[in-house]
Every structure is written in C-alpha cells, then in structure tokens.
Structure 1
Amino acid sequence: MGQSSEDPSSARPARRRPTRAQTRQKVLDAALEVFGELGIQGGSLDAVAEAGQLSKGAIYSNFASKTELVLALVQENTLNRVGLGLEAVSHADGPVDALTMLSAAMTRALKGDQVRHRLVAELYILAHRDPQLAEALKVSRAEARAMGAETLRQGAALLGITLPMPAEHLIVVLIGLHNGLAMEYGIDDGSVPDDLFASVLVPTVLR
C-alpha cells in the first residue's frame, strides 16, 4: 500500500488563541496574586507577567501602566458587587428578602475578598503623596459610585420602593459601610457578625 499523502499535522486541532477578554482576565488574576502578596509598591508588572505566564506586551495591550491595572482590580470588585445587587433583587420575594439577600452576599464578599480591600487602603495612602494617582483614583471611585447608584435606582424600581435619600448619597453610605466593615474584619475577624450588614441596611432603606 502506498503512503498517505495527508499531512499528519492537519489531524491535530488548531490551537485557539485566547480572546482579548480572556487575556485581560488572566492579567487581572495574576495582578491580584502579585499585589496581594507584595503590595502595590512591592509588586511590578514584570512579576505580574511571570505569575501569569504572560508577555509584557499582553499586559500593556490591556493596561497602560501599573496604576491603571491596580485601579482595574478595584473596579472589578465594584462590578462584582453591582452584579450581587441585581441578582439579589431578581431572586427576592419582596424588599426585605432582597435587602437581606444582598446584605448576606456583601458580607460574604467583604470577608472573602480581603486582598482587594487592602489594595483600596494602600491606594488611599499612596494617593495622598501622588497627585496624579489621586486624580486617577478620584475618577475611578466616581465611576464606581455612579454604577452603584444606578443599581440602587434599578433595584428600587423593581421592588416598588422609594429610596430614603438620593441614590448618589445612599451609595456613598453603603460603600463606606462595606469598606469600613471589611477593614474591621481584616483587623479582627470576630468583630463582624454575619447579620450586621443587614441590621443596618434593611432599616436604613425601608425606614
């Protein structure tokens, strides 16, 4: 029998290149690992590239600088909390149930994602000595508050309730509560009972 002229390599499945979104997420995951262990000042983009087995080009094609990457890590946490809020409302049996579910999800988040909260605290300190970082952080936090306020408005409309204050003000209160409880939990993990967030949120919103 004659040998087949078929190229053996043609039988192998073609390697699929990761999408831009997949690469971006891989950078964020590696950055969280590096900055979580070494801090913002101690970590570097070289270390992020090594941790994620990425090229420097893959990082710079998604983030222009270390500052932009760290801010994106913090912003990702905000997006996750927005998602928690919408999920709680969509699966709830009334306003009290929705706020209780949201409080439970936020409590799990603040206890389970201490790394990002430490990054926020470090950013706050660094920004006081770096005007450029301070301005970038100001813009990032304004975007986070805007997303949170819009989520509050959507949730209130779905639940048929009136917020006790403008959404732009309420989101500042909730972010402050969340970040403050996260800091206290990080210092003393017995200081934040599981129902503490709900005991504040439910009567505040439904007063």
Structure 2
Amino acid sequence: MRTTKRLNREESQARTRELLMRSAASCFAKVGFEGTSVDEIAENAGFSRGAFYSNFADKHEILLALLQRHLAHDLRDFEAIVAESTSFDTFAEKVAARYRELGDNPDWCLLMVEFQLRVSRADKTNDVFARLYTDYRHTVSRLIARAFTRFGTKGQLTPADLTVTLIALSHGLALERAASKNALPMALTGKAMKALLIGAARDSGAP
C-alpha cells in the first residue's frame, strides 16, 4: 500500500505560502491589485483569511514577495544569456527567445504592469516597490552594458535607455495582447525585442 508523506510544519507553511502567492498572481492579473481582496486570494487558494494573515501582513507584502521572486529569476536568466552568448546577434536572439517564453505566461506581464502602477503611485522615492524597480532596471542596464563591451558593440541608445525601452515595449505589447483577447501572436514580442536590439546597436568601428 502506498503511503502519503505527511508534511512537517515548515513544509506545510511553505506549501500554503506558495499556493497563496499563485492565487494572488492570478487574481492581480485578472482584476488588478486594487480590485483584489485578501478574502478572494485566500478563498481562491483554498484557505481561510486567517491562513493569509499567518503568512503575509497584507496585499502589498504578497505582491512584493511575488515581484522579488520573479525579478530575481528574470535577472538570473538575463545574466546567463550574456554569459552564454557568443556574439551580439546570439545575445539578441536569446533575449528574444526569453521574451517569447514570457509571452507564454501573460499573467506575469500584467502583474508587472500592476507593479509599475504601484510604483507610479508611490508618494516617496524610497518606497520599497520603487527601490526594487530601480534596482531591477539598473541591473538589466549593467548586463546590457556588459554585452556591449564583450562583443565590441556600441549602442545608439545607452544601456539605461535601451533597458527602459525594452521594458516598455514588452509591457506595452502584453497589454495590447490582453486588449485584443490574445489575437496578437505571442511570438511578436520576441521578434520586436530582437529587432530593437539589433537596430539600436552597431559595431564600434562603424562610421
């Protein structure tokens, strides 16, 4: 007879926390941060309101936890792309492939839009969400600068400007796709990213 392993206290809490985070991501993507209640997050995950507050102080804390994990994963992938690429064209292709993968999960793109809205409404620059977003942009910019240096490429846009443009393009296309009820192909974002990177860069020796 097959026996079911009983989760210990730490494993059970980690599982509960993970299910609550998945529920929050889904709810925020569907109806927005402001339109989602703690009760909805808990109920959608199959838990009580008390279970939510045993793991998170409020909606802001669970949104922050979601974003910290997602952005950390995104930066690890971006760093690996820079390290594994053998040319700037390869780098651009790998970045395009990465954004095509993100297109397969449009909820994350919509969640990032919620994040940007939260940052834009912050009343101070040292807000934890604003700091997280600033650190994320700066890290992506440094990675793009590393790629420029490694492949002897000089961008017509600075790494900082190119970072902002890439983020804006990916999020804008995610909103367009959502507004068109997924009529736009997911591959479009990847293609647009590759065209932007190739078009925004030139060989350092070019006139």
Q: Which residue of 2 aligns with 1:31?
A: 24
Larger gyration radius, structure 1 or structure 2: 1
Q: Select which of 81, 97, 105 maps to 1:104.
A: 97
Choose 126-135 or 173-182, whichever is displaced more: 126-135
Pick closer, same or farther for the CA change 1:89–1:51 going to 2, 3 Å: same
* Long gaps (5+) in structure 1: 1-10
Structure 1 residue 96, shift from structure 2 partner: 0.9
Q: Which residue of 2 aligns with 1:202?
A: 198
Structural mapping, 1:1-207, within 5 Å: 15-17=7-9, 18=11, 23-54=16-47, 56=49, 59-60=52-53, 62-109=55-102, 111-122=103-114, 124=116, 131=123, 135-156=127-148, 159-162=150-153, 164=155, 166-188=158-180, 189-190=183-184, 193=188, 194-207=190-203
**RMSD, aligned CA:** 3.6
Deviations along 1:87-112, whole A, 9 cap, x unmatched? 33344332211211211221331x22
- What is the TM-score with the length of structure 2 in the denominator? 0.70
The residue type equivalent to 1:190 in the other structure is L
The residue type equivalent to 1:174 in the other structure is L
Q: Is the contact between residue 67 and residue 133 of structure 1 (CA under 8 Å) also seen in structure 2?
A: no
In the alignment, the residues of structure 2 paired with residue 121 and residue 134 of structure 1 have an alpha-carbon distance, to the nearest angstrom, of 20
Pick closer, same or farther for the CA change 1:156–1:72 going to 2, 3 Å: farther
- What is the TM-score with the length of structure 1 in the denominator? 0.70
The residue type equivalent to 1:178 in the other structure is S
Q: Is the contact between residue 127 and residue 134 of structure 1 (CA under 8 Å) also seen in structure 2?
A: no
In the alignment, the residues of structure 1 paired with residue 80 and residue 145 of structure 2 have an alpha-carbon distance, to the nearest angstrom, of 14
Structure 1 residue 43, shift from structure 2 partner: 1.6
Structure 1 residue 116, shift from structure 2 partner: 3.0
Q: Percent identity?
A: 22
In the alignment, the residues of structure 2 paired with residue 52 and residue 166 of structure 1 have an alpha-carbon distance, to the nearest angstrom, of 43
Choose 90-99 or 163-172, whichever is displaced more: 163-172
Q: Is the contact between residue 88 and residue 99 of structure 1 (CA under 8 Å) also seen in structure 2?
A: no
Structure 1 residue 198, shift from structure 2 partner: 0.7
Q: Is the contact between residue 28 and residue 73 of structure 1 (CA under 8 Å) also seen in structure 2?
A: yes
* Long gaps (5+) in structure 2: none
Structure 1 residue 29, shift from structure 2 partner: 1.1
Q: Is the contact between residue 103 and residue 201 of structure 1 (CA under 8 Å) also seen in structure 2?
A: no
Q: Is the contact between residue 56 and residue 62 of structure 2 (CA under 8 Å) also seen in structure 1?
A: yes
